[in-house]
Amino acid sequence: MLNERLMRALRQIPALDQPSALHFVQCSSALATGAIILHGFVARETTARVVVKTARNPELPHSLEREWRSLALVRGDATLAELTPAGIATFDVDDMRFFAYSGVPGRTMATAFRNRIWLPRAVLLSRFAARALEMALVVHRPASRPAPAAAVAEDLVADLDWLRRSVPLLPPSVSRKAHEAAEVIANCPKPLPYGRVHGDFSPHNLMVESNARRGATRIIDWEHMEPNRPQHLDIFRFIGASLLLGKRGAERGIALQSMRRDAGPFVNALLRPWLGAMGADADAWTRLERLEALWWQYWIHATRRELERHASADARDSVLLRSLVSAVE
């Protein structure tokens, strides 16, 4: 049962409609640094009226406060305000901080994938790519600038330096491969888009109301938003997460190892058109050597992000770090 004190706090939120009629469904993120999430529904409505988040362990670092601030910023854009949750209120119960947001219609792409009946995997992922392209342009275009390739390479080296400080036993082969990738990127005469990134742009955070190729798409979970990063990191995040959908156990490990090889359809359906729409040279940046370098940048960045979320956890627990090491063995 929902804690009575929490229910009383919810009823005192002026902007919350019919709080006494709410019934809640709970879900939680997997990591200790993640969140407990409560979805409040009224009667037979399929869209939550309110989504309430709190840290699973308030004593560990978490990003809920950061998400609250990030959404306040991005919702200054009228288009994004229609496609993102609205902050309703923050409050404290039993020394825990809670963040209440409006619900958004639809279900995540990951849920739509899991619950599909007749659509083949490849068809549904193709439709997801089309929807992701539209949303990426909405997120990226208003806060973007062309950056010289050298600046993008410096971003890769900065993430690598963080990894080397945080993982004392990081194999030299990883550092060597990452530096080679940075050199390939820096030597390209063409710029890349630089600016606001969502930070967790994946099928787990893109909401759809149907599995059709076109239709309304919304985006949630902005805790990893950053205002000034290479924006292709969002695109590679979506590709990587999509290729892992439905994979479990050993199959997931195989998918991680083969990801760059299997990403071809997404490169053509998502990365190339995104680069073109953002004013970048798609032909230049999808040449095999440069595409491989951009993948390495993504993996270094994603590994850093995973380790940061693990907080005090042993770096050896990082699936991405193990995959990174395996890639150069």
199 shares its domain with 301: yes
Q: Please give the pLDDT value at position 25.
A: 85
Per residue in 127-145, pLDDT tens? Answer: 999 999 999 999 999 999 9
120 shares its domain with 207: yes
Residue 284's contacts (CB-CB under 8 Å, 6 or more residues apart) are 188, 189, 190, 290
83 shares its domain with 127: no
Q: Last residue of some domain: 102, 130, 162?
A: 102
77 shares its domain with 199: no
171 shares its domain with 225: yes
Q: Which domain holds residue 37?
A: 4-102
Q: How far is CA 231 from CA 139, 192, 228, 237, in A?
A: 10, 8, 8, 10
* CA distance linking residue 282 with residue 254, whole number of Å: 28
Q: Please give the pLDDT value at position 205.
A: 95
179 shares its domain with 266: yes
* CATH (domain of 67): 3.30.200.20
pLDDT at 313 over 80: no
Order of strands across the sheet with 87-93? Answer: 22-28, 35-42, 50-55, 96-102, 87-93
Q: Please give the pLDDT value at position 278.
A: 98
153 shares its domain with 96: no
Nearest partner of 18 among 48, 46, 61, judged by Cα: 48
Q: Please give the pLDDT value at position 314.
A: 56
pLDDT interval class at 312 (50, 70, 90)? very low
pLDDT at 194 over 90: yes
81 shares its domain with 223: no
Q: Please provide residue 188's backbone torsions phi and psi, each rounded to the nearest 5 degrees.
A: -80, 130
91 shares its domain with 170: no
Q: Last residue of some domain: 102, 130, 160?
A: 102
- Report the range of poorest mean pLDDT among 30-39, 84-93, 181-190, 258-267: 30-39
* CATH (domain of 133): 3.90.1200
Is the CB of residue 58 less than 8 Å from the CB of residue 99?
Answer: no
152 shares its domain with 270: yes
pTM: 0.93
For the chain, percent of residues with pLDDT exceeding 90: 59
Average pLDDT over residues 203-216: 85
* CA distance linking residue 62 with residue 250, whole number of Å: 30
Q: Please give the pLDDT value at position 85.
A: 96
34 shares its domain with 92: yes
Per residue in 34-67, pLDDT tens? Answer: 788 989 898 888 899 999 999 887 776 568 899 9
Q: Last residue of some domain: 57, 83, 102?
A: 102
94 shares its domain with 157: no
| Residue located via tokens 């390479």 | 153
- What is the count of structural domains for the chain? 2
